[in-house]
Structures are given as C-alpha cells and as structure tokens.
Amino acid sequence: MAKQPVRVLVTGAAGQIGYALVPMIARGVMLGPDQPVILHMLDIAPAAEALNGVKMELVDAAFPLLKGVVATTDVVEACTEVNIAVMVGGFPRKEGMERKDVMSKNVAIYKSQASALEKHAAANCKVLVVANPANTNALILKEFAPSIPEKNISCLTRLDHNRALGQVSERLNVPVSDVKNVIIWGNHSSTQYPDVNHASVKTPAGEKPHFLPSTEDLSFTSLIRLHGEFITTVQQRGAAIIKARKLSSALSAASSACDHIRDWVLGTPEGTWVSMGVYSDGSYNVPAGLIYSFPVTCRNGEWTIVQGLPIDALSRKKLDLTAEELTEEKELAYSCLS
Ligand code: NAD
Ligand code: LMR
C-alpha cells in the first residue's frame, strides 16, 4: 500500500539553503525513495515573489514523490499539520550589529514560530533548527513550545560531523564512507569540539575500533596533522566557506540537514553514531538544560545519547569550554526576552 505523504516545513525556503534543500526533500533524500511528501515553505513578505519562483521550479521539476506544495508568508498556514519542521529562516548578522542585536531578532522569531508549531503542527512533529545561533534558537523554540516533547527539538551539528568525516578522509586518504564515529561536542560555533578519539577507519584488516591507539598502519605525521590543525579546520570550516564563496555553506548544510532527519526517522546504521544538537540531560557532566551536540544513535524515531565513552583531560576542557559559551548564549537570549 502506498505510504501517506509526510508534511515537511522548511522556513527561510527562499534563501540559499532552502533552494538546495527543497529539491533534496522532494527527491526522497531526506525520508527515503518511497516516502511521498508535501512541502510547506515559509518565508517573509519581502521574499514572497522569490518563494513563489521556487514553488514554480518545484512544479517544473515534476518530482514523483512531491504530492503538494504550500508556499506562504503566513506562519500558521506554514505550520499546520507538519510532521517535520526544518527551521532555516532567521535574521543574519549585518554590518555594525552587535551579537546581542542579532540574538534579539532571532529570539523574537523563534519565540513566535515556537507558538505556531505548538498550536498547529501535527502531534509528535520533529523539529530541526538550522538557523544560527542554531543551538540557542532551538532552546528558545523548546521553551516556547512546551507541549512539543523536548526529545523532538534538535539543532544541526551534522554538518560539522560530516566536515570532520571529510577531513579524516582527506588527511588519511581513505574513502569517507570508511570513516565513522567522529563526534561533535557542544555548540555549532568555533568553540565546538570535533573529537576523533573514538572514531574508526575501516582497513583491510577490519575496523579499527579506537582510531588513535590502534592505527599503527597510519603514518605518525598524518596522526599529528589529524590531531593538530584538524580541530581548528573543522571549527573554522564555516568561515572558510564564507571566505571562498562570499556566501555561507548551502549545499553541504542542506545535505547534512537531510542526513540528520533521515537518521533520526529511519535509524542510524548498527555500530554507528552521529552528532545531533539535543537537550542535555546532564550526560558527560554537560549542564542540563542546554541544547548541546552529543554522539547519538537513533532507533524507532528516537535518539539516545551514546553513554560511557572515556573522556580524557584535554577533551574534558574542550567539552566544558563549549558548554560555557552555550550557557552565556542562553543568558544573552533570556536577557533579550525581558
Ligand atoms: P539566506 O539569507 O540565504 O536565507 C535565509 C532566509 O530566511 C531568507 O530567505 C529570509 O528571507 C528568510 N527569513 C528571515 N526571517 C524569516 C522569518 N522570520 N521566517 C521565515 N523566513 C525568514 O541564509 P542561508 O544561507 O539559507 O542560511 C540560513 C541560516 O542557516 C543562517 O542563519 C545561517 O547562518 C545558518 N546556517 C547554519 C548551518 C548549520 O550547520 N547549523 C550551516 C549553514 C548556515
Ligand atoms: C556554517 O557552519 O557553514 C555556518 O554556520 C556559517 C554561518 O555563519 O552561517
């Protein structure tokens, strides 16, 4: 029997990530090749004409899985009955703006969109926040949509996770598909901690369960490079893309958003974890009440934080540093609300 269509909201759909993301969703990249979808696209009034152009292109592309398109500037219409919400819309930092000004604009947007989702989305709607500051926007959304289970609200650090996989692959000259179980801890910002201590690389002799201690077949210099500027390369990758493209990452962000939702809904492969920004329950002594990126596995539409990984002293400092930044962001966000 044919599956019922899933309604997927993309906010900021007339923007550059939106333009890369909506065809991926309509092709089944996010939810699978047999899952029909109805796309809900929201943007603000100045972008209404461009949004309508995206809708026209979706019609022109004749995607077999696409069973309908709602393109609107009305947040209630956009949120009604959606099963999945990918929140890409937000206010960008402009010249001369202080951090607090940007935070204040985004806090207001996420507060009002939280209420619309809470009132109008389908029960058990899963939410992914992409727009920056992604972790704190997700936290505000959680606070103002109290009837949406906190386990259903997440932010995107899968792009950073994929960047880390890509860097290991490049540096060790192995296919990216043979690398797994890197971790992004913390904030989607330059304080994030890309951690390869528990990663593994498939080799002809089998998988190396613990990447660093058991990689005698990898050269010493590649390990140094991996552990040296590897961390800063991943932390600074977003800025490097902006420098190169004069625009922030879009295709990789869209593709990673699809990976995030696909693994959340359909499950992570056996023995593999991914990174997701989720509500901290205090695991790994990360303060409870932050949206923090952890290693997670997903089964039956639910994520679970991977427990029991040993954390060395250097990693501990890095986990704490990014938690401190998130605590400061949370305070700043709350000060914008009062
Ligand atoms: P963009 O400026 O091209 O598009 C943003 C869109 O959001 C615009 O069309 C704008 O009109 C719309 N918008 C603004 N306010 C809105 C509102 N209240 N409701 C609905 N739509 C609204 O930006 P982009 O390159 O697509 O990036 C979008 C966001 O994603 C930015 O905040 C960016 O920093 C962030 N980002 C996050 C990651 C990540 O990994 N988490 C990666 C890349 C970019
Ligand atoms: C990215 O990681 O590519 C973006 O978050 C960068 C940005 O500031 O939009």
Ligand with minimal distance to 133 CA: 1
H/E element, 77 = helix 75-79
Query: What pLDDT, on the 0 to 100 scale, is given for residue 217?
Result: 47
Q: Which atom of ligand 2 is nearest to the CA of 239?
A: 6
249 Cα–ligand 2 center, Å? 6
Between vectors from CA 49 to CA 92 and to CA 83, what angle results, nearest 5°?
70
Is 158 part of any known ligand binding site?
A: no
Whether residue 64 has pLDDT greater than 80: yes
Mean pLDDT, residues 217-243 taken together: 76
Locate tokens 């923090």: which residue?
292
User: What span, in angstroms and rounded, lies between the C-alpha atoms of 278 and 288?
Assistant: 11
201 Cα–ligand 1 center, Å? 34
Q: Whose CA is nearest to atom 2 of ligand 2?
A: 238
Residue to probe by mutation, ligand 2, list 132, 157, 245, 256, most atoms within 8 Å of CB: 132
Q: Which atom of ligand 1 is nearest to the CA of 155?
A: 41
Residue 140 CA: distances (Å) to CA of 41, 114, 132, 264, 279: 21, 8, 12, 21, 12
Record the tokens describing residue 120, joined without a space.
């109008």
Q: Which atom of ligand 1 is nearest to the CA of 47?
A: 11
Band (131; pLDDT cuts 50, 70, 90): very high
State the angle between helix axes of 313-337 and 134-143 in degrees (0 to 180), rounded to the nearest 10: 50
Q: What pTM was estimated for this model as a whole?
A: 0.95
Residues 250 and 19 sit within 8 Å (Cβ to Cβ): yes
Residues 136 and 291 sit within 8 Å (Cβ to Cβ): yes
Strands 126-129 and 206-207 come out as unpaired
Residue 42 CA: distances (Å) to CA of 29, 45, 101, 222: 20, 10, 23, 45
Strands of 153-155's sheet, edge to edge? 66-72, 37-42, 6-11, 84-87, 126-129, 153-155, 274-279, 291-299, 302-305
Is 163 part of any known ligand binding site?
A: yes
Is 15 part of any known ligand binding site?
A: yes
User: What span, in angstroms and rounded, lies between the C-alpha atoms of 25 and 86?
Assistant: 11
What is the DSSP code (8-state) at residue 93?
P
Which amino acid appears at position 44 of this protein?
Answer: I
Query: What pLDDT, on the 0 to 100 scale, is given for residue 110?
Result: 97
Is 12 part of any known ligand binding site?
A: yes
Ligand with minimal distance to 131 CA: 1
Give the three-class secondary structure for 129: strand
φ, ψ dihedrals at 293, nearest 5° = -85, 125
Lowest mean pLDDT among 7-21, 82-96, 248-262, 292-306: 82-96
What integer best gives the mean pLDDT of the chain? Answer: 92
18 Cα–ligand 1 center, Å? 8
What is the DSSP code (8-state) at residue 290?
S
Catalytic residues: 188
Our answer on whether the CB atom of 161 is closer than 6 Å to any ligand 1 atom is no
Most distant pair of Cα atoms in the chain: their distance? 59
DSSP string, 15-58: SHHHHHHHHHHHTTTTT-TT--EEEEEE--GGGHHHHHHHHHHH
Mean pLDDT, residues 90-113 taken together: 86
Nearest in space to 23 (alpha carbons), one of 242, 241, 258, 249:
258
Whether residue 321 has pLDDT greater than 60: yes
Whether residue 48 has pLDDT greater than 90: yes
φ, ψ dihedrals at 246, nearest 5° = 60, 15
Mean pLDDT, residues 228-250 taken together: 92
Query: What pLDDT, on the 0 to 100 scale, is given for residue 210?
Result: 46
216 Cα–ligand 1 center, Å? 44
Ligand with minimal distance to 40 CA: 1
